[in-house]
Amino acid sequence: MPPQPVLTAQHLSKRYGPQRLFENLSLQLARGEMLALLGESGSGKSTLLNCLAGLEPLDAGQVLIEGRDMAALNEEAQAALRRERLGFVFQAFHVLPHLNVQDNVALPLLLQGRPDPARVAEMLAAVELDRHARHMPRQMSGGQLQRVAIARALVHRPALVLADEPTGNLDARHADQVMQLLRTQLREQGAACLLVTHSQQAAALADRRLQMEALA
Ligand SMILES: Nc1ncnc2c1ncn2[C@@H]1O[C@H](COP(=O)(O)OP(=O)(O)O)[C@@H](O)[C@H]1O
Ligand SMILES: [Mg+2]
Protein backbone atom coordinates (compact mmCIF):
# COMPACT_ATOMS: atom_id res chain seq x y z
CA MET A 1 0.00 0.00 0.00
CA PRO A 2 1.42 3.44 -0.83
CA PRO A 3 1.95 5.65 2.23
CA GLN A 4 -1.06 7.73 3.19
CA PRO A 5 -0.94 11.38 2.08
CA VAL A 6 -0.88 13.94 4.87
CA LEU A 7 -3.45 16.04 3.03
CA THR A 8 -5.94 15.09 0.36
CA ALA A 9 -8.28 17.78 -0.91
CA GLN A 10 -10.81 16.77 -3.53
CA HIS A 11 -13.05 18.90 -5.72
CA LEU A 12 -13.10 21.90 -3.42
CA SER A 13 -15.31 24.86 -4.30
CA LYS A 14 -15.81 28.11 -2.45
CA ARG A 15 -17.58 31.34 -3.23
CA TYR A 16 -18.44 34.48 -1.30
CA GLY A 17 -21.76 35.61 -2.72
CA PRO A 18 -21.25 36.03 -6.45
CA GLN A 19 -17.46 35.85 -6.16
CA ARG A 20 -16.02 32.45 -7.04
CA LEU A 21 -12.69 31.84 -5.31
CA PHE A 22 -11.93 28.30 -6.41
CA GLU A 23 -13.85 25.58 -8.17
CA ASN A 24 -13.17 21.86 -8.33
CA LEU A 25 -9.71 22.30 -6.79
CA SER A 26 -7.89 19.11 -5.85
CA LEU A 27 -4.46 18.67 -4.33
CA GLN A 28 -2.48 16.19 -2.34
CA LEU A 29 0.51 16.51 -0.05
CA ALA A 30 2.79 13.62 0.83
CA ARG A 31 4.90 13.33 3.96
CA GLY A 32 7.94 15.59 3.77
CA GLU A 33 6.53 17.55 0.85
CA MET A 34 6.30 21.33 0.51
CA LEU A 35 3.88 22.91 -1.93
CA ALA A 36 4.14 26.64 -2.63
CA LEU A 37 0.83 28.35 -3.30
CA LEU A 38 1.25 31.49 -5.38
CA GLY A 39 -1.24 33.98 -6.69
CA GLU A 40 -2.25 37.60 -6.66
CA SER A 41 -3.63 39.19 -3.55
CA GLY A 42 -7.36 38.43 -3.42
CA SER A 43 -7.10 35.18 -5.40
CA GLY A 44 -8.28 33.13 -2.41
CA LYS A 45 -5.08 31.72 -0.91
CA SER A 46 -5.91 32.53 2.72
CA THR A 47 -9.47 31.31 2.23
CA LEU A 48 -8.18 28.01 0.87
CA LEU A 49 -5.94 27.53 3.91
CA ASN A 50 -8.84 28.31 6.25
CA CYS A 51 -11.07 25.84 4.40
CA LEU A 52 -8.42 23.11 4.55
CA ALA A 53 -8.15 23.63 8.31
CA GLY A 54 -11.91 23.52 8.74
CA LEU A 55 -11.96 27.10 9.97
CA GLU A 56 -14.13 28.20 7.07
CA PRO A 57 -16.90 26.12 5.46
CA LEU A 58 -16.54 24.81 1.91
CA ASP A 59 -19.39 24.88 -0.59
CA ALA A 60 -18.31 21.53 -1.99
CA GLY A 61 -15.51 19.01 -1.74
CA GLN A 62 -13.76 16.83 0.77
CA VAL A 63 -10.68 17.36 2.94
CA LEU A 64 -8.82 14.40 4.41
CA ILE A 65 -6.06 14.97 6.92
CA GLU A 66 -3.99 11.82 7.42
CA GLY A 67 -6.92 9.94 5.94
CA ARG A 68 -9.52 11.44 8.27
CA ASP A 69 -12.46 13.18 6.64
CA MET A 70 -12.80 16.58 8.36
CA ALA A 71 -16.52 16.83 7.56
CA ALA A 72 -17.22 13.50 9.23
CA LEU A 73 -15.85 14.74 12.55
CA ASN A 74 -17.92 16.68 15.05
CA GLU A 75 -16.71 20.10 16.11
CA GLU A 76 -14.86 18.80 19.14
CA ALA A 77 -13.03 16.11 17.17
CA GLN A 78 -12.15 18.64 14.45
CA ALA A 79 -10.73 20.99 17.06
CA ALA A 80 -8.69 18.16 18.57
CA LEU A 81 -7.33 17.19 15.16
CA ARG A 82 -6.37 20.82 14.48
CA ARG A 83 -4.72 21.12 17.89
CA GLU A 84 -2.68 17.96 17.55
CA ARG A 85 -1.92 17.52 13.85
CA LEU A 86 -1.99 21.04 12.37
CA GLY A 87 0.35 23.99 12.63
CA PHE A 88 -1.14 27.19 11.27
CA VAL A 89 0.87 30.36 10.64
CA PHE A 90 -1.78 33.03 10.18
CA GLN A 91 -1.17 35.93 7.85
CA ALA A 92 -2.03 38.28 10.74
CA PHE A 93 0.04 36.17 13.23
CA HIS A 94 -2.73 35.97 15.91
CA VAL A 95 -0.16 36.08 18.69
CA LEU A 96 -2.07 36.38 21.98
CA PRO A 97 -1.45 39.89 23.38
CA HIS A 98 -1.65 38.96 27.07
CA LEU A 99 0.86 36.12 26.95
CA ASN A 100 4.58 36.68 26.69
CA VAL A 101 6.57 35.29 23.76
CA GLN A 102 7.52 32.06 25.51
CA ASP A 103 3.95 31.35 26.67
CA ASN A 104 2.60 32.01 23.17
CA VAL A 105 5.00 29.45 21.73
CA ALA A 106 4.22 26.97 24.54
CA LEU A 107 0.47 27.19 23.99
CA PRO A 108 -0.03 24.29 21.53
CA LEU A 109 1.78 21.94 23.94
CA LEU A 110 -0.16 23.20 26.96
CA LEU A 111 -3.47 22.75 25.15
CA GLN A 112 -2.54 19.11 24.66
CA GLY A 113 -1.55 18.72 28.29
CA ARG A 114 2.08 17.99 27.46
CA PRO A 115 4.19 20.99 28.48
CA ASP A 116 7.77 20.77 27.23
CA PRO A 117 9.92 23.78 28.22
CA ALA A 118 12.98 22.32 26.49
CA ARG A 119 11.13 22.09 23.19
CA VAL A 120 9.83 25.66 23.61
CA ALA A 121 13.38 26.87 24.26
CA GLU A 122 14.60 24.98 21.20
CA MET A 123 11.98 26.65 18.98
CA LEU A 124 12.70 30.10 20.42
CA ALA A 125 16.39 29.61 19.68
CA ALA A 126 15.57 28.38 16.16
CA VAL A 127 13.89 31.71 15.36
CA GLU A 128 16.50 33.70 17.34
CA LEU A 129 14.03 34.90 19.95
CA ASP A 130 15.54 33.17 22.98
CA ARG A 131 16.54 36.53 24.42
CA HIS A 132 12.97 37.81 23.99
CA ALA A 133 11.26 34.91 25.76
CA ARG A 134 9.69 37.09 28.42
CA HIS A 135 8.81 40.05 26.24
CA MET A 136 5.19 40.89 25.66
CA PRO A 137 3.91 40.98 22.06
CA ARG A 138 3.43 44.76 22.18
CA GLN A 139 7.19 45.10 22.71
CA MET A 140 7.95 43.20 19.52
CA SER A 141 8.23 44.24 15.88
CA GLY A 142 6.05 42.74 13.13
CA GLY A 143 8.88 40.54 11.92
CA GLN A 144 9.55 39.29 15.45
CA LEU A 145 5.86 38.49 15.95
CA GLN A 146 5.88 36.57 12.71
CA ARG A 147 8.74 34.46 14.04
CA VAL A 148 6.80 33.87 17.28
CA ALA A 149 3.89 32.64 15.15
CA ILE A 150 6.19 30.28 13.23
CA ALA A 151 7.74 28.84 16.39
CA ARG A 152 4.24 28.30 17.80
CA ALA A 153 3.06 26.57 14.62
CA LEU A 154 5.91 24.04 14.75
CA VAL A 155 6.46 23.46 18.46
CA HIS A 156 4.10 20.46 18.73
CA ARG A 157 5.54 18.75 15.64
CA PRO A 158 2.40 18.92 13.50
CA ALA A 159 1.83 16.58 10.56
CA LEU A 160 0.57 19.40 8.36
CA VAL A 161 1.85 22.99 8.39
CA LEU A 162 -0.36 25.61 6.75
CA ALA A 163 1.75 28.75 6.48
CA ASP A 164 0.21 31.96 5.16
CA GLU A 165 2.99 34.22 3.84
CA PRO A 166 5.22 33.28 6.79
CA THR A 167 8.17 35.29 5.49
CA GLY A 168 6.11 38.30 4.36
CA ASN A 169 7.40 40.56 7.14
CA LEU A 170 10.94 39.26 7.35
CA ASP A 171 14.27 40.53 6.11
CA ALA A 172 16.21 38.24 3.79
CA ARG A 173 18.28 36.62 6.50
CA HIS A 174 15.34 35.79 8.76
CA ALA A 175 13.24 34.69 5.79
CA ASP A 176 15.97 32.27 4.84
CA GLN A 177 16.20 31.05 8.43
CA VAL A 178 12.45 30.39 8.55
CA MET A 179 12.51 28.49 5.26
CA GLN A 180 15.39 26.34 6.53
CA LEU A 181 13.47 25.71 9.75
CA LEU A 182 10.39 24.60 7.83
CA ARG A 183 12.51 22.36 5.64
CA THR A 184 14.18 20.79 8.68
CA GLN A 185 10.82 20.11 10.33
CA LEU A 186 9.54 18.48 7.18
CA ARG A 187 12.61 16.32 6.86
CA GLU A 188 12.86 15.35 10.53
CA GLN A 189 9.16 14.97 11.38
CA GLY A 190 7.90 13.84 7.97
CA ALA A 191 5.43 16.70 8.03
CA ALA A 192 3.96 18.33 4.92
CA CYS A 193 3.66 22.05 4.29
CA LEU A 194 1.41 24.23 2.21
CA LEU A 195 3.21 27.54 1.92
CA VAL A 196 1.49 30.67 0.66
CA THR A 197 4.15 33.05 -0.56
CA HIS A 198 4.90 35.94 -2.89
CA SER A 199 8.60 35.27 -2.61
CA GLN A 200 10.15 33.57 -5.64
CA GLN A 201 13.05 32.58 -3.44
CA ALA A 202 10.78 30.82 -0.94
CA ALA A 203 8.76 29.21 -3.73
CA ALA A 204 11.96 27.88 -5.26
CA LEU A 205 12.60 25.89 -2.08
CA ALA A 206 9.26 24.09 -2.40
CA ASP A 207 8.94 20.72 -4.14
CA ARG A 208 5.99 21.91 -6.25
CA ARG A 209 4.32 25.20 -7.04
CA LEU A 210 0.63 25.90 -7.56
CA GLN A 211 -0.61 29.16 -9.04
CA MET A 212 -4.04 30.43 -7.98
CA GLU A 213 -5.81 32.50 -10.65
CA ALA A 214 -8.72 34.81 -9.96
CA LEU A 215 -11.92 33.29 -11.43
CA ALA A 216 -14.30 35.43 -13.44
N1 LIG B 1 -15.37 36.37 5.10
C2 LIG B 1 -15.43 36.87 3.85
N3 LIG B 1 -16.60 37.31 3.33
C4 LIG B 1 -16.65 37.77 2.06
N5 LIG B 1 -15.58 37.85 1.24
C6 LIG B 1 -14.40 37.44 1.71
C7 LIG B 1 -14.26 36.92 3.03
N8 LIG B 1 -12.96 36.57 3.21
C9 LIG B 1 -12.32 36.88 2.05
N10 LIG B 1 -13.19 37.39 1.15
C11 LIG B 1 -12.85 37.80 -0.23
O12 LIG B 1 -12.36 36.67 -0.91
C13 LIG B 1 -11.28 37.04 -1.77
C14 LIG B 1 -10.06 36.20 -1.46
O15 LIG B 1 -9.53 36.60 -0.21
P16 LIG B 1 -8.25 35.88 0.42
O17 LIG B 1 -8.53 34.43 0.54
O18 LIG B 1 -7.91 36.61 1.66
O19 LIG B 1 -7.18 36.14 -0.72
P20 LIG B 1 -5.59 36.07 -0.70
O21 LIG B 1 -5.18 35.41 0.58
O22 LIG B 1 -5.21 35.27 -1.92
O23 LIG B 1 -5.10 37.47 -0.80
C24 LIG B 1 -11.09 38.55 -1.60
O25 LIG B 1 -11.74 39.19 -2.66
C26 LIG B 1 -11.75 38.83 -0.27
O27 LIG B 1 -12.27 40.12 -0.26
MG1 LIG C 1 -4.00 36.10 2.13
How far are the Cα atoms of 16, 38, 44, 105, 110 from residue 214, in angstroms, in the given order?
13, 11, 8, 35, 40
CA dist 182 and 193 (Å) reads: 8
What ligand has the least distance to the C-alpha of 40?
1
- Give helix 117-126 / helix 142-154 axis angle, nearest 10°: 140
Asked if the structure places residue 154 within a domain, the reply is yes
Asked if the structure places residue 3 within a domain, the reply is no
Domain that holds residue 139: 33-43+74-212
Asked if the structure places residue 193 within a domain, the reply is yes
Asked if the structure places residue 176 within a domain, the reply is yes
The count of domains in the chain is 1
The amino acid at 161: V
Where residue 151 falls (left for φ over 0; alpha for ψ -120 to 50; beta otherwise) is alpha
Asked if the structure places residue 65 within a domain, the reply is no
What ligand has the least distance to the C-alpha of 168?
2
Residues 45-90: pLDDT tens digits? 999 999 999 999 999 999 999 999 999 999 999 999 999 999 999 9
Asked if the structure places residue 18 within a domain, the reply is no
Q: Whose CA is nearest to atom 1 of ligand 1?
A: 16
How far are the Cα atoms of 113, 142, 172, 205 from residue 177, in angstroms, in the given order?
29, 16, 9, 12
Does an H or E element contain 69, and which? strand 68-69
CA dist 8 and 17 (Å) reads: 26
Domain CATH for 146? 3.40.50.300
Residues 117-162: pLDDT tens digits? 999 999 999 999 999 999 999 999 999 999 999 999 999 999 999 9
Residues near ligand 1 with C-beta < 6 Å? Answer: 16, 21, 39, 41-47
